[in-house]
Amino acid sequence: MEKNRILIIDDELSILETFSLYFESMGIDVETSSTFENATKKISMLYFDVILTDLKLGNRTGLDILSFVKESGVLTPVILITAFASKENAIEATKLGIYDYLTKPVNFDELYIIISRAIEKSLLQKEINKLKEGFSPTFIIGESNSIKSLLDIIKRVSTSDVNVLITGESGTGKELVAKAIHQYGKRKKQPFVPLNCGAIPENLIESELFGFVKGAFTGASTSKDGIFTAAKGGTVFLDEIGELPIYMQPKLLRVIQEQKVRKIGEQFETDIDTRIIAATNRDLKKEVEEKRFREDLYYRLNVINIHVPPLRERKSDIPLLINHFITKFNKKLGRDIKGTTHELMRALLNYDFPGNIRELENIIERMITLESGNVLTMNYLPFNEKKSNSNNTILSSGLEIEEFNPINGIDLDTILSKVEHYYLKKALEKSGGVKKDAATLLNISFRSIRYRLEKHNISSDDE
């Protein structure tokens, strides 16, 4: 699962450590720099979704970083953080194209929202770059490895006319994949005609597929084209093909083989020219074995198989999808929701979404409808979160931390130290005490883990 990557620039190591732990706990990959020279080197060599920099950097400033980014043609959003806010600095930062400007002490919920939006901007820029390259299905949201693989196969099959079978759980976006294949293929100027085989009554499915002529049966007062004729050289999308009645399957097979269709009540066949894409949430191989689906039809449809992963297997895409749905429903509902709290985002990341993207979309729409403020909170989360009655919260990992109390406040340094100590110990246990392997598990450098182990007075077996 690919992570988003942030570069944090500050000349205070304690600040770098605090921000690193915070963003790593959110599943974001972090690179740090304490000098201007080191930061510019990393910006030149690596891709970052966001750059977060302090204003004061020894004898250089965060504005120098911003100037370097602009002059280098790097399009990464830059966020400036400082304890020394001034009108002059703000004006200069704006001229240089600053994404946002925050003053210390930083409100972490506010920072989280800004970072999420900045990452969304980076994703949009990537999509624009893809568009320049001639391939950008912008309605498929995601940057995980599984989505990149999915986009790659869509790009390759869209240039051909082979039949495609799209598999995956309900709500994963199978129709979006079919639309992307059509949109980027040679038939894109012709119709895309979908039919949900499970939503049509059994006695009407034949007429929907093939059409009928006037007088073919009682009630047929006019003639009607079926979907293959209506597609007119485009694409027919047969959704939930596993629901197609067994008696209709040989008729569909003949249409696929012969590229001819006969309307109900008509004596002759008509040539058609359509691409066929089918989709199902069933295991069609098992359906074939149990004689509920024809084997010959299965192989005709399944020339190329594209599997759409469930949302629980691509959780790094959840923040991007949430931002996308917030933008969508802000426009639809006339709201101005800025984002989510860190607590809500963590709850959504920990949820398995049995209904996949469709369920996430419904949750966001519901919460935007009910939320009175401009940030989504835990107040209207429709699924239950385990809550502790004590003053401490037990994470799923077994780590106990103090519950946030906005009246009395918390000791953030102590809490972050507990988190760091816990995961250092766990990584050493998993790696058999080998520091290099533990560093790999934690996605940090060997030098970083040595520093952290010494700080916490933790010993390992490879001393």
The domains of the chain, with CATH numbers, are 1-135 (3.40.50.2300), 145-311 (3.40.50.300), 314-380 (1.10.8.60), 391-463 (1.10.10.60)
| pLDDT (0 to 100) of residue 239 | 95
Q: Which two tokens stand for residue 405?
A: 């109390």
Residues 231-289: tens digit of each pLDDT: 888 999 999 999 999 999 999 999 999 999 998 888 888 899 999 999 999 999 999 99
Residues 366-420: tens digit of each pLDDT: 999 999 988 999 988 988 654 433 445 545 455 555 555 544 556 677 778 888 8
Q: Which two tokens stand for residue 203?
A: 């006695």
Q: Which percentage of the chain shows pLDDT scores above 90?
A: 32
Residues 327-336: tens digit of each pLDDT: 889 988 999 8
| pLDDT (0 to 100) of residue 88 | 67
Residues 101-148: tens digit of each pLDDT: 777 788 887 888 888 888 877 776 665 555 445 455 556 888 788 888
Task: Give CA angle at 17 (15, 21), nearest 5°.
Answer: 120
| pLDDT (0 to 100) of residue 214 | 85
Higher pLDDT, 310 or 29: 310
Maximum CA extent, the chain: 89
* Contact present, 174 and 139 (Cβ < 8 Å): no
Over 70: is that where the pLDDT of 10 sits? yes
Only one residue has tokens 């002490």, namely 105
DSSP secondary structure string for all residues of 66-119 = HHHHHHHT----EEEEESS--HHHHHHHHHTT-SEEEESSP-HHHHHHHHHHHH
Give the whole-angstrom CA distance, residue 22 versus residue 40: 23
Residues 268-279: tens digit of each pLDDT: 888 999 999 999
Over 90: is that where the pLDDT of 48 sits? no
Over 80: is that where the pLDDT of 447 sits? no
Buried b (16+ CB within 10 A) or exposed e, 164-187: bbbbbbebbbbbbbbbbbbbbbeb
Buried b (16+ CB within 10 A) or exposed e, 101-112: bbeeebeebebb
Residue 288: strand, helix, or coil: helix
- CA-nearest of 411, 403, 420 to 457 is 420
Over 80: is that where the pLDDT of 78 sits? yes
Band (455; pLDDT cuts 50, 70, 90)? confident
* Contact present, 359 and 170 (Cβ < 8 Å): no
| pLDDT (0 to 100) of residue 386 | 44
Give the whole-angstrom CA distance, residue 5 versus residue 149: 20
* Contact present, 293 and 250 (Cβ < 8 Å): no
* Average pLDDT of the chain, as a whole number: 83
Could you tell me whether strands 235-239 and 275-280 are parallel, antiparallel, or unpaired per DSSP bridges? parallel
DSSP secondary structure string for all residues of 187-211 = TTTS-EEEEETTTS-TTTHHHHHHE
| pLDDT (0 to 100) of residue 219 | 77
Higher pLDDT, 311 or 89: 311
Residues 297-322: tens digit of each pLDDT: 999 999 999 999 999 999 888 988 99
Q: Which two tokens stand for residue 401?
A: 């931390």
Q: Please tell me the number of Cα atoms within 13 Å of 453 on its side-chain side.
A: 25
In this predicted structure, which of 78-82, 88-92, 360-364, 387-391 has the lowest mean pLDDT? 387-391
pTM for this structure?
0.59
Residues 351-379: tens digit of each pLDDT: 999 999 999 999 999 999 999 988 999 98
| pLDDT (0 to 100) of residue 11 | 87
Q: Please tell me the total number of residues recorded for the chain in this structure.
A: 463
Residue 61: strand, helix, or coil: strand
DSSP label of 264: B
